[in-house]
A and B are shown apart, each in its own frame.
Chain A
C-alpha cells in the first residue's frame, strides 16, 4: 500500500517566558490509505500538536508533511484550500467546535461551500443520515443536541467533503461510556463505507486498542514506540509503554488484585525542561547511566520500533 501521509522530522517549538519549548520533536510517521493509526500518550506529549500540524491548522517549525506524495508543509492558504476537503479533523468537545448561532445543517454545509459546491443541501442530508441523525436535525441548533448527537454532527461536518484522511483528536473522551461505543462504532462503519484513513489521537489506551490496527506511543514530543496493535499491546518493548498499560485499571476486580503493577514515580516532565538523554529516564524503572546521557533513537525491536537502550523484549 502506498503512503497517504508521510511525516519526516516534524517539529514544533513554542516561545514562552521560560524559553523555547519543543512540543513536538522530530516525529517520523507514515499513514497508509484506509488505515487507522493510533497516537497515544499523556498530557503534554505532543499528540494533539502533531495532529494539528498534519492538517495544517498549525505550522510546523521544521520537518516535512507529504500528503498523497505532495509536500504540503508550507503551502499557502490559497493553495491549501482545495486540499482541505481531503484532510479533515474531528475535535474532542463537539459543543465548542460547533458555532452555537448556526443551524447544524448550515454548519455541515460550510466545508462544501468552501469547496465551491453551490447546492450543498442533498449532500448535507445524506451525511446526516449516514451519521445516524435525521434530515429533521438540519434546522436545529447545537444546544438542542445531546453530547453524542453533537459529536455525530461534528463527524458529519468532517466527512461531508469525502476526505481521505481524518484526524480524530480525542473524539470520544468527553462522552459518557455508553455513548462512546456508539461513536467508536460509527467511525469504524464510516471508514469501511468511505475508505477513510484515521489518525486517532487519544489518551485512553483501551479505546485505541479497539479502534486502531497500528499504534504510536508518544512521550515528551517524540515517538517512543510504534508498531502493530497486537505487537505493542501484547508485548510492549518500551518501559514507558509497559508502565502506561499497567497503570490502566481493568474492569475486572479479580485480575486487578492479582496483577503486577508498575507505578511510575513523579509526573510527566515539562517540555520546557526536558531531561537529558532519554526523556523518560527520571521515571524509568530500568534507567542506567547510559540513559541519562545518550538519547535513544527509534530502532527495530522484535517486530516494531522502539526508542530504548534496554527494551523489554528482544
Chain B
C-alpha cells in the first residue's frame, strides 16, 4: 500500500468575487523512499495541494480523499490531523521564518518537538536537538542550539527548519519551494541535504517547485499541474525525454538552458488562466499551439498507463498526434 494516496482532491477558496477552485480533481500516490516533484507555475494549485495534505487550509473547502498510511485526513478532526502533523508528516517552506518562532532559541524549539511527541525528558530532548542540528550540517551544534533564528544565515536557517521537521521522525516530508529564496550555491547544498536524509531515512518526499532543474536533480517521479489539474505524470527521465502534454513541452521549450546551444527560448503565448473564470474544456487550450476541435469544450481526462497525460491529442486519430 502506498504511504500517501490522494484521490480526486479539490480545494476551493470562497472569496468576495467568487470561489476559486485552486485544486480540481487531483489524484496521485506516493511510496516510501520516493520523491515526487510537483511542478507548476503560479496559480497551478501546487501549494494548495501541500497545505491540504498537511491539513493547514483554514479558509478552504477540501473535498476528495487524502490517506496517509490508511488514515483519512480530509474531514478528520483538528486534533487527529494535528497528531499526524507532529508525528507522521512534516513540512518545510520557502521562508524558514514562517515555521520558526523568532523569540525562542532553535535548540528549545527542536527539543519541544521531542518532548511533546516522544515524551523525552528535558535533558534528553536537549541532546536530541543538538544531534538533529549536527545531522543537518550545522557547525558547532551545541553552541548554535542556543542561538535565535535571526542569528543564522539564510542557508543555515533552512537547515535548522529541516532539523526541526525531521525531529518528529516523519514518514512524509513536504518541501514547498525549499530553495527558491536561496542563492544557487546554497541551493545546491540544501538539495544535497534533502536528498541525503531522504535516502538515509527512507522518507517519502513531496517536492513542490516551479524549477524543472530542481526536479531533474532530486525527483523520482513528476506531476505537472496547470490551473489546479494534473496534466501529466511520469517517471522523471520519461517526462524530460518524452513529454506528452503540450503544456509540458511548452514549459521545457521556454526554459533558458546552460546545456545545448544558446539562443532564444520559445515562450508559451498568452497568460496563465484567471481561476475565477477558468477556460472551459482543457484549461490550457487558449495558449495551446496544438489545440484541436473539442479542446475548448470537452475536459480531457488523465489517460495512458504509466505515463498519463490529460490531452485530447493522445486519444485523437494518429495523424493529429505530434
A residues in contact (CB < 8 Å) with B? 42-43, 146, 148-149, 176-182, 184-185, 188, 203-207, 209-210, 229-230, 233, 243-256, 261, 263-265, 267-268, 283
11 contacts between A and B (CB under 8 A): A181-B267, A203-B184, A206-B255, A210-B263, A233-B258, A251-B212, A251-B213, A267-B153, A267-B154, A267-B156, A283-B185
| B213 adjacent to A180 (CB under 8 Å) | no
Contact residues in A for B83 (Cβ distance below 8 Å): none
| A252 adjacent to B216 (CB under 8 Å) | yes
Most buried by B among A206, A230, A250, A251: A251
| A42 adjacent to B216 (CB under 8 Å) | no
Q: Which of B183, B184, B215, B254 contacts A180 (CB 8 A)?
A: B254
| A178 adjacent to B192 (CB under 8 Å) | no
Contact residues in A for B185 (Cβ distance below 8 Å): 42, 243-244, 247, 263-264, 268, 283
Interface of A is mostly: helix
Q: Which of B236, B251, B252, B258 contacts A205 (CB 8 A)?
A: B258
Answer whether A245 and B258 are a contact pair too, CB < 8 Å, given A179-B267, A252-B216.
yes
| A178 adjacent to B41 (CB under 8 Å) | yes
Question: A181-B254, A181-B255 are known contacts; what are 6 more A-B pairs with Cβ within 8 Å?
Answer: A184-B267, A210-B257, A233-B262, A247-B187, A249-B214, A268-B186
- Please give the distance in Å from B301's CB to the nearest CB on chain A: 23
Contact residues in B for A176 (Cβ distance below 8 Å): 41-42, 210, 272
Answer whether A210 and B272 are a contact pair too, CB < 8 Å, given A176-B210, A251-B240, A268-B183.
no
A178 to B240, CA, bound (A): 16
| A253 adjacent to B237 (CB under 8 Å) | yes
In the complex, number of A-B residue pairs with CB atoms less than 8 Å apart: 145
A299 to B205, CA, bound (A): 47
A254 to B254, CA, bound (A): 20
The answer to the question of B266 belonging to the interface, with a C-beta cut-off of 8 Å to chain A, is: yes
A203 to B189, CA, bound (A): 17
A246 to B189, CA, bound (A): 12
A244 to B212, CA, bound (A): 18
Contact residues in A for B211 (Cβ distance below 8 Å): 249
A42 to B210, CA, bound (A): 20
A250 to B211, CA, bound (A): 10
B residues in contact (CB < 8 Å) with A? 41-42, 153-156, 183-189, 191-192, 210-217, 236-237, 240-241, 250-252, 254-259, 262-269, 271-272, 287
Answer whether A205 and B259 are a contact pair too, CB < 8 Å, given A146-B271, A267-B155.
no
| B271 adjacent to A149 (CB under 8 Å) | yes
Contact residues in A for B42 (Cβ distance below 8 Å): 176
- Please give the distance in Å from B36's CB to the nearest CB on chain A: 14
| B264 adjacent to A210 (CB under 8 Å) | yes
Answer whether A263 and B189 are a contact pair too, CB < 8 Å, given A188-B264, A248-B258, A251-B255.
yes
Answer whether A42 and B258 are a contact pair too, CB < 8 Å, given A181-B266, A252-B216.
no
Answer whether A247 and B236 are a contact pair too, CB < 8 Å, given A178-B267, A210-B256, A229-B262.
no
A157 to B286, CA, bound (A): 29
| B256 adjacent to A248 (CB under 8 Å) | no
Answer whether A178 and B156 are a contact pair too, CB < 8 Å, given A204-B256, A263-B192.
no
| A249 adjacent to B271 (CB under 8 Å) | no
A294 to B215, CA, bound (A): 41
A148 to B272, CA, bound (A): 10
- Please give the distance in Å from A137's CB to the nearest CB on chain B: 13
Quick one: closest A residue to B222, CB to CB?
A253
